[in-house]
Chains A and B, each alone.
Chain A
Amino acid sequence: MNYALFLGCKIPSRLPAYAASTRAVLQHLGVTLLDLEFNCCGYPARDLSRDAFVLAAARNLALAERAGLNLLTPCACCFGTLRHAITFLNEDAALRSRINEALAAEGLAWSGAAEVEHVLALLARVIGVDALSSAVREPRTGLRVAAQYGCHTLRPSKVARFDNALAPTIFEDLIRLTGATPVDWPRKLDCCGDPLHEANAALSEHMTRAKIADALSSGAEVMCTACPHCHLRLDGAQADTADPSIGTLLYTQLLGLALGLPAKSLGL
């Protein structure tokens, strides 16, 4: 099983533990990850120029296509952006020809051959919950975990095609197989606040704090994430406050621990 690993911009610079734990877990499970020099997924240009955003995304897809690989990303926002670009390219022939014209300058082309997958979906659907369960060596029995889905893996469901957007179960299934207990929390599907941090910091903080308080009052000991933006925001909001705090753990770290991988290899 081979994938081109699309880390995006945030993970290598701000959250290298996510790259390390993703590589460690997937290598352990027999998935080969290849590194191509991708560019930005296109998200920062989404509200500036549609063509520029789609071009950036399509260039990544074209690079994977040329290498004969599908893309695998641990970032919910990169996942959503790349899936959006595929949707727009599929529904707009004029856009498709403009983008392919621009890509042709580098000898690249987008045909739709390369698929985009999020790490959670790869684990749950491609490798499978049963296979993962039987690989668990050190179950995290008793740990109460709040699953932080991340908006762009789920919604819009027509674009993301990830799970039931109103009542998803994939993250809970993945938590359960590690021996931990997923908690039910009302703000599970809410935005973490990160996209607003630049534009409206006070509102962003308010949203993040509400999520943390909700996870705590629902009895969770740790918030489990699958997106660098969610993870950094949830951590960042707790950095300098006297409010009660809750731990954060990347799902790849939780799974890695359950698989019995050394904590150091998971960036812990």
Chain B
Amino acid sequence: MSRALFHAALYASLLLCALGLLWRMAGWYRLRIGPDAQAVTLAQRWHALLRGLASALFTRRLVQVLAALLFDVLLQRRLYRIEKSRWLAHWLMAAGFMLLLLMHALAAVVTVKLFPGYESTRNPYLFLRNLFGAMVLLGMAMFLFGLRRRRTRFAPARPPMAAAFVALLGFVLLTGFLLEANKIVSPQAFYRMAKEFNGSADPAALKPLRALWASEFGVAFDDLKEPIAPELLRQGRAMHEADCETCHARAASAFVSYPVSRLLAPLARALEDVKAHTWLLYLHVFACFLGLATLAFTRFFHAVAAPISLLASGATPHEAYSSAGRATQRALAMHACVACGICDAHCAVAPLARYLDNRYLLPSHKLVATGAREMSLRVAEGAFLCTDCGRCSNACPVGLDLQDLWQATRGDLAGAGLPAPAQWVKTRSALGWAEALQSDVAPQRMFDPDAREAPLSADRSSFSRCVQCQTCSNVCPVVAHSTDPAFAVDLTPQKVMNLLRLGMRDLTLGSSMVWSCASCYQCQEHCPEGLRVADIMLELRALAVQRLGAVRRHKELS
């Protein structure tokens, strides 16, 4: 490969990588998640960053940051606690990759400086290169094998270009091992080296060395006569010791490439004819450059964003962040999330996600929707069903403060006209909703609730036996506390029951009595007819979400 081309490609990739990183990192200051983040200025966010950096580097917090670097970033302590098998897979990949990068890819810059005797074909380097590559491959295999859909039914949200990065990494490793295997079997490479170090490329003069290299180093000469005489091997070994041994360990030390080379041996001539060495080298090197140039836009960017997020969390506890700092942390979380789906597996409402067929209940999908500023009824349903149990944050291997993120998401949804049902029903009066139902959606006067979802509403006997004695209203704390017009309810439980008796259910759906029911069950406990008044209230809310939700959707569409 020409040096000029190599360097041009290298510097172009580095430039693209740097520009990509800048663009992506600038995104942490462009994206605003949460109502409080809308209010902070860019200057405040930079100020928070500089103050955070200063306190992380120049105060006692440095100890915490260094501890986070060692335990959280390098040793992946959080992942180890949560899932040991995934930790092993990740550690194999990360450590193998970093060591390959330092020892092999940056050999001229790093290894040669640290170990002056470095030769890629000597041990331990030959063996280690195979070991590190094998670690990455093993880690990837464990990872792909472990990608099972968990109890959530939904696969975790995948960031864009996730598969492309995995494919590229696999391709780099594959071409690397093939390149080495091809070189092992290549007679051309043998003659080139022999000419340089023995001074001869004449097959006849090199006959003993050829014999030794064919039998012990795997070179696939197609003009070698078998069996090889032991005397020839002895002569070959002498030549090898004189000219080759200082730089060459036994090929079998390449414990991955050498077995591969045995498979390639019958094809050695054909591979030379098609210049396999040249194009494998180009593919290997340019795949690395491609990975470098696109680093900021593939899954690999998590290797930048996740450590920054972990170090920032290590420097300052989540609760100590200013709104400016939080704004940046939330935006950073979009890139630091590795989409491992561990949060989904531990989510307390995951079984609801499956049954309601709404993936936005699950943290990984909610995070992606938040980052994409997706505001829809489905996202809102997911956001407001979250119980804030904190299990996603506890399980997050990157240590994201997801509770803060969900709170911000709910604030943004409410701001966009998608608050929790208890809030959006307040936009009209009970009568207003009933009229809207008549005019917009369902001109029919009556509707039959689904006996499956609303068995009490579907069965007239559950309310027709009401004798209007008012006991429910008398024991209702909500009615008793309705002393202030600011929060007084429009109906009483007894009136709600009466409207049901009269077949005017639509008038109750938007009622503040129904939506302010504390579900304390005083009414139900005291009802002389044994009617399930509170259960009916809760059921009416479910019907309201469904039926009044249709009015909202109608409004959205028209």
Measuring CB to CB, which residues of chain A are less than 8 angstroms from any residue of chain B? 8-10, 12-14, 37-40, 42, 44-52, 55-56, 59, 92, 94-95, 98, 102, 105-106, 151-152, 154-157, 165-166, 189-191, 193, 195-196, 198-200, 202-203, 206-207, 210
Contact = CB atoms under 8 A, between A and B. Distances in A.
B389 A12 contact: yes
Contacts, number: 148
A189 B454 CA distance: 29
A106 B352 contact: no
Contacts of A202: 484, 486-487
B415 interface: no
Interface string B392-409: 000000000001000000
Interface hub of B356, B385, B454, B481 (most chain A Cβ within 10 A): B481
B469 interface: no
B548 to A, nearest CB: 13
B534 interface: yes
Nearest to A57: B351
Given A47-B541, A155-B525, A40 B352 contact: yes
Given A9-B348, A9-B388, A39-B349, A48 B542 contact: yes
B455 A13 contact: no
A37 B150 CA distance: 14
A198 B348 contact: no
Give the size range of B's interface with the partner: 35 or more
Contacts of B518: 151, 191, 193, 195-196, 207
B83 interface: no
B355 interface: yes
B378 to A, nearest CB: 13
A40 B349 contact: yes
B477 interface: yes
Contacts of B452: 50-51, 94-95, 98
Contacts of B484: 202, 206
A17 B352 CA distance: 28
A155 B516 contact: no
Contact of B487 (A49, A154, A206): A206
17 contacts: A39-B350, A44-B385, A45-B385, A48-B356, A48-B545, A50-B539, A59-B351, A152-B519, A156-B521, A156-B524, A190-B520, A195-B518, A199-B420, A200-B422, A200-B515, A203-B487, A207-B518
Contacts of A155: 520-522, 524-525
Nearest to B525: A155
Interface string B359-401: 0000000000000000000000100010111110000000000
Contacts of B486: 202
B346 interface: yes
